[in-house]
Structure 1
Amino acid sequence: MRTICFYFQVHQPYRLKPYRFFDIGEDHHYWDEFANKNIMRKVAEKCYLPMNHLLLELINKYQGQFKVSFSISGTFMDQMEAYAPDVLESFQKLVDTGNAELLNETYAHALAALKSKNEFQDMVRKQQEKVKALFNGYTPKVFRNTELIYSDEIGAMVAEMGYKAILTEGAKHILGWKSPNYVYCNAIDPKLKVLLKNFRLSDDIAFRFGEKGWADWPLTTDKFVNWINQIPQEEEVINLFMDYETFGEHQWEESGIFEFMRHLPEAVFSKSNFTFSTPSEVAANIAPVGKIHVPVPISWADEERDLTAWLGNDLQDEAFDRLYELEDMVNRSSDPLIQRDWKYLQTSDHFYYMCTKFFSDGDIHAYFSPYESPYEAFINYMNVLSDFMLRLKKDQEDRLIEEGEDKRTTA
């Protein structure tokens, strides 16, 4: 079996509005509704709607032989319901074909797996419930952690929750001489299969496609199929993992990205011995060749493929630590708005905006950030977090008063 596995990350964060020091204690609404709605609608028109239409066309044209998969964050699903019901309907049509698999993840696209097993598990359950509610009872079988963050321990937690496979980066420093084009298994719990991204071929589409200075520009379907045909016959799966916004947003329509995808299946079917499979099909049909050992977490971000896009500098670590110090207080609260804001404040994007990297990766971080600088992102986030802490303390005090009144009434 020689197969291609397409996976697309679909995510938008709830962005914070400009929140001043003087707003602390006065304004408990943190989210920039105007920006969130405008960005969702803009990307919907450029990416989500045309690409979903194209994928549906391809699935129907090739009568189920062409297959893809998605991980759709809970924050994205919330925004689809609020701002883009047409996008939600187009995803539902894709899933209804049976040839677009949904993966599970953390509801808020969070870094909880690195800090709190309980919060991680709660986020995963909440995400599963949301997927089930919006997609006709759908239950994902495969897991994709935020930004493909993975370690042996994270994989073991995912296996404990009953998932059959997990996706992560085929990082060079982990693989060494090994190829990403095989199925591996978790080093702690071998029942969990591990699918590794082929970062070179994935990034040829996701990052280099529109670069006219790239030696292989323009990328055509014939050229791409020629590359995959050069892969040794014993290597069974090519995992092409990328942001869904690659299509139409990061790589504009004028680059030819939609036409590339429109003609890729035909080129694959007619000029290679590859098929297309979903992650669960890969996990079910291909045996692992061995364990993959990942003692320190990896991700698919930046040159290092580590966690430094989100954690590691003083700003990020301070914000991250202060946030999770509140977990116990949040768990004692029954206020639905506190619970909602707690989830949204964990979204990894907030910490990504605080990244102080420069050189090659700095431009990428600046492109995605709504802030002038990482320091502005940190100050804004910490102002919001300060108000959130005040709300938690007030909630705790009110609960203690209520409990005291109940005891007096009972006595």
Structure 2
Amino acid sequence: MKTICFYFQIHQPFRLKRYRFFDIGNDHYYYDDFQNEEIMRRIAERCYLPANKAILEMIKTSGGKFKVAFSISGLALEQMEIYSPEVIDSFKELAATGNVEFLAETYAHSLASLGENIEEFQDQVKKHKQKIHDLFGVKPKVFRNTELIYSDDISDAVYKMGFKGMLTEGAKHILGWKSPNYMYSSCIQPQLKLLLKNDRFSEDLSLRFNNYNWNEYPLTADKYISWIAATPDSEQIINLFMNYEVLGSLNPAETGIFDFFKALPRFAADKGIGFSTPSEVFALLKPVDSISVPYPMSWVDEEKDCSSWLGNVLQQEAFHKINSISERVGLVEERRIKQDWNYLQSSDHFFYMSTKHGNSGFSPYDNPYDAFNNYMNVLSDFIARVNAQFPETIENEELNSLLTTIKNQGEEIEDLQKELEKLKKKTTTKKKTEA
């Protein structure tokens, strides 16, 4: 039986305010609260709330057959808690159905997987998993990296973090003649299963649905499902990966996107097509082959690479600069510094510096150079705050010794917590037996 795997990305960065050179050393608050609140409330009203309501309705009217997966960054969750707590409530309602899966990612929707400090990557994923558990009571089992960034090295790190499955892009330069409508595995960690985005069907909704010049406009639910049904019988999984803002924001409600979406389960049922979460697919299917990705790829632009974030000297300089203090930040205990560290790592800051896209409408800056100057001014102040606690004059040996001590203490605490959980379970079992 053919099945559709829907996955939606949800992320909002903490956008920076205009931060001048003369602010360095004098102002340690970096964020444009007005803009962040306005954007979150607007997207919540247009997309998150009506889309969640539609999905809940689809789950109920389909008799529990409709299923979907979300990857919500830690920064987006924080802003929902601050500006639109009703969105968190609506996701909790979806979680209670058992038909929604929450995926793990980097807390800051960052480029940590491309940096040299693998422990930072691990820490962000761990922090994100904890946030999802705290809010929704579930522990993510499947990993989805920022913007579907993937490489052989990243797959190795993800597998070693305990994940058995991961989502990524079905890039043509990687697949060649192969179809994305099968399960694959990592070439260096064969136990790590991979689901690959079907570009054609995903972009029919994310890019072409509202395009009057598209020769298939208007797209109807029965036409769309008929295309999916027409794929070869051997191709059992159609992975539809996209930004959640496709529902209501990128495609406004007046385009009919919600009516289209809500009609999908009925026409899918008519064609014998089901819906599955990534975990369900990983449990049911076996990889048909492995894929080799020696250089990082993503789901962005025609090139499907990482040049939108690290393609020019401005981006590379900014990325190098923030990563140069990664180990020192690991020693800091001050909550505000830790918080700023997360917010400043968001991939959006580097995307705004891209010279590939012109003014795409997603950037709050007039041009990439303004984005770079503003970010570097903020980063200069932040680095000064970090150096005030752990000066650059600290020798590498002393720094490494401190880092090793902290790591050992962290592992010891983790072991003790596991032991405590075991003792709690034994005590509970004993009480039940005695009763």
User: 2:242 and 2:269 mapped to 1: Cα distance?
Assistant: 22
Residues of 2 paired with 1:3 and 1:229: CA distance? 10
- Distance, in Å, in 1 between the alignment partners of 2:377 and 2:237 is 47
TM-score w.r.t. the length of structure 2 is 0.89
Aligned to 2:228: 228
CA shift for structure 1 position 96: 1.0
Paired position in structure 1 for 2:378? 384
Cα distance in 1, alignment partners of residues 196 and 266 from structure 2: 25
Partner of 2:126 in structure 1?
125
Deviates more, 1:56-65 or 1:232-241: 56-65
**For structure 2, which runs of at least 5 residues remain unmatched after alignment?**
395-435
Does residue 90 (structure 1) correspond to residue 84 (structure 2)? The answer is no
Look up the match of 2:397.
none
Task: Give the aligned residue type for 1:319.
Answer: A
SS at match of 1:291: strand
2:406 counterpart residue number: none
Letter of the 2:170 partner, please give it: G
**Structure 2 partner of 1:10:** 10
How big is the shift at 1:292?
A: 1.0
**How far apart, CA to CA, are the structure 2 residues paired with 1:323 and 1:14?**
16
SS of corresponding position for 1:47:
helix
1:373 match: 367
Aligned partner of residue 194 in structure 2, secondary structure:
strand
Distance in 1 between residues matched to 2:351 and 2:288, nearest whole Å: 35
Aligned to 2:135: 134
SS at match of 1:222: helix
SS of match in other structure, 1:15: coil
Runs of 4+ more than 4 Å apart? none
CA distances 1:311-355 after superposition (whole Å, capped 9, x unpaired) = 120110000000100112111111111111111111000000000
Partner of 1:196: 196
Residue deviations 1:252-308 (CA, integer Å, cap 9, x gap): 1111111110111111111x1210000000111011101011111100001100001
Q: Distance in 1 between matches of 2:331 and 2:153?
A: 27
TM-score (norm 1): 0.94
RMSD: 1.5
Other-structure match for 1:50: 50
Mapped partners of 1:306, 1:51: distance in 2: 30
Alignment partners' CA distance in 1, 2:379 and 2:178: 44
Cα distance in 1 for residues equivalent to 2:81 and 2:61: 29
What amino acid sits opposite 2:126 in the alignment? Answer: R
Counterpart in 2 of 1:404? Answer: none
Segment of structure 1 superposing worse, 56-65 or 169-178: 56-65
Letter in 2 for 1:366: S
Deviations along 1:156-186, whole A, 9 cap, x unmatched? 1111111121000000000000000000011
Counterpart of 1:395, as a letter, is Q
Q: Alpha-carbon deviation of 1:225?
A: 1.4
Q: Give me the whole-angstrom Cα distance separating, in 1, the residues matched to 2:76 and 2:229.
A: 36
The 5 A counterparts of 1:19-98 are 19-98=19-98
**Other-structure match for 2:401:** none
Paired amino acid for 2:294: P
Shift of 1:78: 0.5
**1:159 and 1:332 mapped to 2: Cα distance?**
27
SS at match of 2:36: helix
Unaligned runs of 5+ in 1: 401-411
Deviations 1:225-273, CA, capped at 9 Å, x for gaps: 1211210000010000000011111111111111110111111111x12
1:9-408 equivalences under 5 Å are 9-115=9-115, 116-136=117-137, 138-270=138-270, 272-357=271-356, 362=357, 366-396=360-390
Question: Matched residues in 2 for 1:63 and 1:188: separation?
Answer: 40
Whichever residue aligns with residue 86 of structure 1, its letter is E
In structure 1, how many angstroms separate the alpha carbons of the residues matched to 2:102 and 2:273? Answer: 22
Following superposition, the deviation at residue 393 of structure 1 comes to: 1.5
Distance in 2 between the 1:384 and 1:171 partners? 36
Tell me which residue corresponds to 1:405: none
CA deviations 1:358-391 (Å, max 9, x no partner) are: xxxx25x621111100110000000000000111
Q: Which amino acid aligns with 1:394?
A: A
Distance 2:329 2:273 in 1: 49
- The letter for the 2-side match of 1:17 is K
* Post-superposition offset of 1:223: 1.2
